Amino acid sequence: MGSISGRKLNQVLDNLEYILAIELMSACQAIEFRRPLKSSVILEAAHHYVRNFTEFASEDRIFAEDIKKMHSIIADFSFVRHCDSAAREKGVVLNREFEEFAL
């Protein structure tokens, strides 16, 4: 039963990364709708990084490829590293405990 539980936990964690990917895409869309207003420097850096992988959706379309791209930058921690770098440039120290979970 332990191996089954472990496999189920792994599925839950993988689904969580996909949920975060969808939320990240939605947040970037929302930032675009607020233009010409600006967000904080860190949020703008995060938005710019995401836009390197996916573009603004001006109309409804299939987002499967975009979600895969967002999932990959979440799973490999490159998104977190980029945001951390942008924060350090402004003298902000983010929580560094995420590195404990990187495989």
Q: How far is residue 93's CA from residue 90's CA, in Å, rounded to a whole number?
A: 9
pTM of the model: 0.79
Predicted pLDDT of residue 14: 83
pLDDT tens, the chain, 103 aa long: 788 998 999 899 889 999 999 999 999 999 999 989 988 888 999 999 999 999 999 999 999 999 999 999 999 989 988 998 898 888 887 766 655 555 4
Task: Work out the widest C-alpha separation in the chain, in whole angstroms.
Answer: 54
Predicted pLDDT of residue 97: 65
Q: Is-contact 67 18, C-beta < 8 A? A: yes
Judge if the upstream peptide bond of residue 36 is cis by omega within 30 degrees of 0. yes
